[in-house]
Amino acid sequence: MKAVLFDRPGPPDVMKLVDLEIPSINKNQMLIKVRYSGVNRPDIVQREGNYPSPPGHSEILGLEISGIIYKIGSNVTAFKEGDEVAALVNGGGYAEYCVADQETAFKIPNNISLKEAATIPECFFTVWSNLVMRGGLKKNDCVLVHGGTSGIGVAAIQILKLFDSEIYTTVGNEQKKEFCKKLGAHYVFNYKETDFFDEIKIIKPKGLNLILDFIGGEYVKKNINLLSSEGKLINIGFQNGSIVDINLMKVMLKRLTITGSTLRIRDSSFKAEILSQLKKFVFPHFENGEIKCYIDSVFKIEDVIQSHKRLEKGSHIGKIVLEF
Ligand SMILES: NC(=O)c1ccc[n+]([C@@H]2O[C@H](COP(=O)([O-])OP(=O)(O)OC[C@H]3O[C@@H](n4cnc5c(N)ncnc54)[C@H](OP(=O)(O)O)[C@@H]3O)[C@@H](O)[C@H]2O)c1
C-alpha cells in the first residue's frame, strides 16, 4: 500500500510516499481502506521530531481518517465490512489502509460526507474532552478560545454555541475575524492589531470562566489574569513556548485551576467515553446542520508536502484534508 513516511525529522519535504505491507489487525480492530485523512498541527510537530508516536502506535503520520471497512476482527460487532466509517486512530492515517479500534470508530452522521467526516475525530474529541469533561463547561459560561480559525478553534466555537457560551477568540487577520463572527463568536480580536488582554479587561471586568489555549508563552500570564474566581485555564499546546515566568499568587487568590491534556496517549476506554458523549450531545447537531465541518483545502496524497506547507503558512481557515 502507499503510505507517507519520513526517515529523519525535518521540514515538509522529509516526507516520502513509499510502498509498505498492509498492516494486520487484532480481533478488536478493523482495517479501513482510507479515502480521506485529516491533517492536524500535531502531525507537523511529530514530523519535526518533537511529538514521537507513543509505543504501540503506528510510525506513519495521521490521527484521523474516513473510509470503507475492508476487514474486521472476530470481536468486532458494531460494524461490518463495506460500512463507511470515520475513526480516531493511533497514527497510520496517511496510508491507503489504516488500523482502527472499534471503540474509536463511528458511522458517519447523516448530512456529513465522507470527506467532511475525516475532519471530525481529532478536533472534536480534543475539544469536547477538554472544555466539557475536563473544563466542566456550564451553560452561559464566558469562554476564550485562542486561534479561532484553527481546526481546534472552529470545533470549539461550535461546541460552545451548544452551551450558549459568551465566546471570545483571537485570530491573525481580518478575514479570519469575519469568519469567526459568522461562526458565532461574540468577540474576536486580531492579535496582530490589538491586545486581547486589554480589550477583554474592559468588556468583562469580572473575568472569564474558562480559557482553552494552545499558544502558551506570553499568553499564560494574560490568561491567568483574565480568569474570574474559580476559573480554569486549559492548555492543549504551547506553540509559543511552555517555559514561562508567572506569579502564582493569582491562582491562590482566585482559586484558579490550571490544567491541560493530550489526547493521543490516553487509553481507548477514555477515547470511547468521549465518543459516546459526542454521539449523544454533538452528532445530532451535525445531522440537523447546526454544526458543520469547515474544510479549507483538499490535497491528493501525492501532494502531502504541499498540505503541510499550507498548514505551516497559517493562512488556512478550518481543516486541511488528504485524499486517496
Ligand atoms: N493536546 C491535544 O490533545 C491536542 C490535540 C489536537 C491539537 N492540539 C494542539 O492544538 C493546536 C491547534 O491544532 P490545529 O490542528 O487546529 O492547528 P492549526 O489549524 O494549524 O491552527 C493553529 C492556529 O494558531 C493560530 N495562531 C498562531 N499564533 C497565534 C497567536 N499568537 N494567537 C492566536 N492564534 C495564533 C493560527 O492562525 P493565525 O496566526 O492566523 O491566527 C492558526 O489558526 C496545536 O497547537 C496542536 O498541537 C492539541
What is the number of the ligand 1 atom nearest to the C-alpha of 123? 6
How far are the Cα atoms of 25, 156, 215 from residue 129, in angstroms, in the given order? 27, 11, 19
Please count the other Cβ atoms lying within 10 Å of the Cβ belonging to residue 304: 22
pLDDT at 115: 98
How far are the Cα atoms of 49, 73, 185, 251, 268 from residue 61, in angstroms, in the given order? 12, 23, 32, 38, 19
Specify whether 6 is located in the same domain as 75.
Answer: yes
Specify whether 136 is located in the same domain as 219.
Answer: yes
DSSP class of residue 302? G
- Whichever domain contains 233, its CATH number is 3.40.50.720
Q: Cell match 452528532: residue? A: 283
Structural domain count of the chain: 2
233 part of a folded domain? yes
SS3 call for 203: helix
DSSP class of residue 95? B
88 part of a folded domain? yes
Is the CB–ligand 1 distance for residue 214 below 6 Å? yes
Specify whether 139 is located in the same domain as 228.
Answer: yes
313, burial (CB in 10 Å: exposed 0-12, middle 13-18, buried 19+)? exposed
Which of residues 238, 260, 282 is at a domain's end? 260
SS3 call for 116: helix
Specify whether 129 is located in the same domain as 145.
Answer: yes
Taking phi over 0 as left and psi of -120 to 50 as alpha, with beta for the rest, 318 belongs to left
Q: Going by CA atoms, what residue is nearest to atom 27 of ligand 1?
A: 147
pLDDT at 52: 87
271 part of a folded domain? no
Is the CB–ligand 1 distance for residue 314 below 6 Å? yes
Domain that holds residue 308: 2-120+293-323
Determine the distance separating the centroid of ligand 1 and the alpha carbon of 170, expressed in angstroms. 11
Is the CB–ligand 1 distance for residue 170 below 6 Å? yes
7, burial (CB in 10 Å: exposed 0-12, middle 13-18, buried 19+)? exposed
- Whichever domain contains 304, its CATH number is 3.90.180.10
Which of residues 260, 276, 309 is at a domain's end? 260
Is the CB–ligand 1 distance for residue 150 below 6 Å? yes
Specify whether 130 is located in the same domain as 253.
Answer: yes
85 part of a folded domain? yes
SS3 call for 223: helix
Specify whether 311 is located in the same domain as 298.
Answer: yes
Specify whether 255 is located in the same domain as 130.
Answer: yes
Q: Going by CA atoms, what residue is nearest to atom 5 of ligand 1?
A: 126
Specify whether 91 is located in the same domain as 171.
Answer: no
pLDDT at 273: 98
Determine the distance separating the centroid of ligand 1 and the alpha carbon of 212, expressed in angstroms. 11
Is the CB–ligand 1 distance for residue 317 below 6 Å? no
211 part of a folded domain? yes
Q: Cell match 478550518: residue? A: 318
- pLDDT tens by residue, the chain, 324 residues: 999 999 999 999 999 999 999 999 999 999 999 999 999 999 999 999 998 899 999 999 999 999 999 999 999 999 999 999 999 999 999 999 999 999 999 999 999 999 999 999 999 999 999 999 999 999 999 999 999 999 999 999 999 999 999 999 999 999 999 999 999 999 999 999 999 999 999 999 999 999 999 999 999 999 999 999 999 999 999 999 999 999 999 999 999 999 999 999 999 999 999 999 999 999 999 999 999 999 999 999 999 999 999 999 999 999 999 999
Is the CB–ligand 1 distance for residue 232 below 6 Å? no
Contact yes or no for 98/34 (Cβ under 8 A): yes
Confirm whether pTM is higher than 0.85.
yes
Four-residue CA torsion sign, 153, 278, 143, 177: positive
SS3 call for 172: coil
94 part of a folded domain? yes
Is the CB–ligand 1 distance for residue 171 below 6 Å? yes
Please count the other Cβ atoms lying within 10 Å of the Cβ belonging to residue 124: 26
SS3 call for 284: helix
Specify whether 57 is located in the same domain as 81.
Answer: yes
Specify whether 154 is located in the same domain as 243.
Answer: yes
Is the CB–ligand 1 distance for residue 236 below 6 Å? yes
Specify whether 149 is located in the same domain as 249.
Answer: yes
pLDDT at 100: 98
Contact yes or no for 174/249 (Cβ under 8 A): no
pLDDT at 57: 95
286 part of a folded domain? no
53 part of a folded domain? yes
Q: How far apart are CA 245 and CA 153, in angstroms?
A: 26
What is the number of the ligand 1 atom nearest to the C-alpha of 171? 41
Ligand 1 mutation target, pool 214, 259, 293, 312, most atoms within 8 A of CB: 214
Specify whether 128 is located in the same domain as 254.
Answer: yes
Which of residues 207, 238, 260 is at a domain's end? 260
Query: Which segments of 23-112 does DSSP mark as H helices, in order?
Result: 41-47
Q: Going by CA atoms, what residue is nearest to atom 17 of ligand 1?
A: 41
